[in-house]
Amino acid sequence: MSGETPSEGSGRRREERAQPSAERVRSRARPETMSMGEKLMRRCDELAELSSDPDRLTRVYLSLEHARANELVSRWMVDAGMRTWCDAAGNQCGRIEGDRPGLPAVILASHVDTVPGAGKYDGMLGVVLAIEVVARLRTSGRPLPFAVEVVAFGDEEGTRFGAALLGSRAVAGTWDDEWWALRDADGISLADAFAGFGLDPGRVGEAARLPGELVAYLEAHIEQGPRLETADRALGVVSAIAGARRFVIDVVGEARHAGGTPYERRRDALVAASEVVVAIERLARDGAGIATVGHLSVEPGAVNVVPGRVEFSLDIRAESDDERDTLWAAIQATTAEVGHRRDVGFTSTQTHAAEAVRCADWLRDVVTAGIREAGDADPLVLFSPAGHDAMAMASVTDVGMLFVRCRDGISHHPDEEVRADDAAAAADALEAAVLALADQL
Ligand code: HGY
Ligand code: MN
Ligand code: MN
């Protein structure tokens, strides 16, 4: 037992129990007594229950949990008065008509897939906000010069198959048939995962929307960084989204006896990889862009064997594609130098690339108008180093994004947190942005 006396300890524990978490409060509150913000957060809590991992939130593309998330989102869409369908890429979609049927649509969207050990709001908050806004637009009865669609994309993160933005690229009509051969950690191909989800790979093209079918794309998303919190703002206007590239890098040396092999005879794959990993951070810090090695595996992985092979991931982003590619070229030069000096082979395979995207000026204006309507007279404009489905959708229509403050900028972590009042403000701002968009047409 720590230095606490039992009574003190139990007293503290009793006190902690007396202060239930916001989530526990929401879970006990009756819907009719919840504030709007708490209702939105409650829905994120419900989605967070749908995880393949009992101890943390993990929900990947075309999984059972993805199917359950689609069912839950579909119910909310129906409650909001939408016609709903699951598209040919497994995205859950909903639609209300404008002042006459069949009009081009404004899409409000985000994603329902997660990274392993995710927070509850990355993607999910944007889907919940979009549905809430449609419910408001429909009950307002205001005739709109466009339809409004909500899409819950099934794969923004790329967690399962490595390539990211699969759901939104299908909708944007930029699906790449080379992806069918991608395999997950269990060796299941994307094509087989489609079939397992009840989808026909041969019909994925039916998910694609034509430019003429769309008016614009708007996405609300947590900032996944600290700038709104630092500026004491709830919401922000996104100016642009970083260009990104992802790689798997193979390092091949030679497994040898850990005792009998002198250093001068070693081709140690892990030491070579480690030199490059440290250099990657220095190159990114010294230049433009940001780079991360998120995963590294070592073979044969025995305590008494010099590592013969290493595989590690690389995620590179920058405000411009040129800066992104310049950083990649510097990293490649470093792997060549380390590989030569240590007689170790480096080979890289690109698994994802997305061009930097600028949000359309007219959509920045409507998002700005929406944030002003929600009470912030001088909205902050900020760049997104995080990637989003808007990057894919930019190839088929103009895109705009609304950022929502998250505590300490934490994301891709269970401690990801959003304030209920910020969520409510975001719903007001997104609704006002859609109405401002209607006024512009
Ligand atoms: O990695 C990203 O920036 C996004 O969260 N998928
Ligand atoms: Mn994410
Ligand atoms: Mn996201």
- CATH number of the domain residue 283 falls in: 3.30.70.360
Q: CA 405, CA 417: separation in Å to the nearest integer? A: 9
Report the pLDDT value the prediction gives residue 141, as an integer from 0 to 100: 87
Burial group, residue 358, by CB count within 10 angstroms (0-12, 13-18, 19+)? middle
Is 291 within the bounds of a domain? yes
Q: Which 8-state DSSP code applies to residue 425?
A: H
Q: How far is the CA of 394 from the centre of ligand 1 (A)?
A: 16
Give the closest ligand to the alpha carbon of residue 125: 3
Closest residue by Cα to atom 4, ligand 1, is 387
Residue-wise pLDDT for 236-286, tens only, equals 999 999 999 999 999 999 999 999 999 999 999 999 999 999 999 999 999
Task: Please give the structure tokens belonging to residue 101.
Answer: 């049927």
Q: CA 30, CA 11: separation in Å to the nearest integer? A: 30
Q: Are residues 62 and 122 in the same domain?
A: yes
Q: Are residues 306 and 319 in the same domain?
A: yes
Q: Which atom of ligand 1 is nearest to the CA of 385?
A: 3
Q: Which atom of ligand 1 is nearest to the CA of 244?
A: 3
Residue ending a domain, among 327, 354, 381, is: 354
What is the number of domains present in the chain? 2
Q: CA 113, CA 157: separation in Å to the nearest integer? A: 7
Q: How far is the CA of 387 from the centre of ligand 1 (A)?
A: 4
Give the closest ligand to the alpha carbon of residue 354: 1
Pocket of ligand 1 (CB under 6 A): 122, 156-157, 386-387
Tell me the best of 114, 125, 157 to mutate to test the pocket of ligand 1, counting ligand atoms within 8 Å of each CB and taking the most.
157
Q: Which atom of ligand 1 is nearest to the CA of 157?
A: 6
Q: Are residues 234 and 292 in the same domain?
A: no
Q: Is 42 helix (H, G, I), strand (E, B) or coil?
A: helix
Residue ending a domain, among 354, 382, 399, is: 354
Is 179 within the bounds of a domain? yes
Q: Which atom of ligand 1 is nearest to the CA of 317?
A: 3
Is 346 within the bounds of a domain? yes
Q: Are residues 154 and 284 in the same domain?
A: no
Q: Are residues 272 and 124 in the same domain?
A: no
User: What is the length of the chain?
Assistant: 441
Which helix (H) or strand (E) segment holds residue 107: the answer is: strand 105-111
Which helix (H) or strand (E) segment holds residue 190: the answer is: helix 190-196
Is 3 within the bounds of a domain? no
Q: How far is the CA of 353 from the centre of ligand 1 (A)?
A: 12
Is 368 within the bounds of a domain? yes
For 155, 207, 389, 424, 425, the CA distances from 129, given in Å and listed in that order, are: 18, 23, 16, 9, 10
Residue ending a domain, among 334, 354, 374, is: 354
Is 20 within the bounds of a domain? yes
Q: Which 8-state DSSP code applies to residue 360?
A: P
Task: State the CATH number of the domain containing residue 57.
Answer: 3.40.630.10
Q: Are residues 212 and 328 in the same domain?
A: no
Q: Are residues 38 and 61 in the same domain?
A: yes
Residues of the chain with pLDDT under 50: 1-19
420-440 vs 36-48: helix axis angle to the nearest 10?
100
Taking alpha carbons only, the member of 439, 422, 415, 435 closest to residue 118 is: 415
Residue-wise pLDDT for 381-414, tens only, equals 999 999 999 999 999 999 999 999 999 999 999 9
| Host domain of residue 204 | 8-241+356-440
Q: Are residues 361 and 342 in the same domain?
A: no
Q: How far is the CA of 121 from the centre of ligand 2 (A)?
A: 9
Is 416 within the bounds of a domain? yes
Q: How far is the CA of 220 from the centre of ligand 3 (A)?
A: 10
Q: Is 104 helix (H, G, I), strand (E, B) or coil?
A: coil
Q: How far is the CA of 115 from the centre of ligand 3 (A)?
A: 9
Which helix (H) or strand (E) segment holds residue 24: the answer is: helix 22-28
Q: Are residues 380 and 305 in the same domain?
A: no
Task: Please give the structure tokens belonging to residue 238.
Answer: 């996104």
Is 1 within the bounds of a domain? no
Q: Are residues 234 and 248 in the same domain?
A: no
Q: Are residues 335 and 277 in the same domain?
A: yes
The phi and psi torsions of 306 (rounded to 5 degrees) equal: -60, 125
Q: Are residues 234 and 86 in the same domain?
A: yes
Q: Is the peptide bond prior to 307 cis by the omega test (within 30 degrees of 0)?
A: no
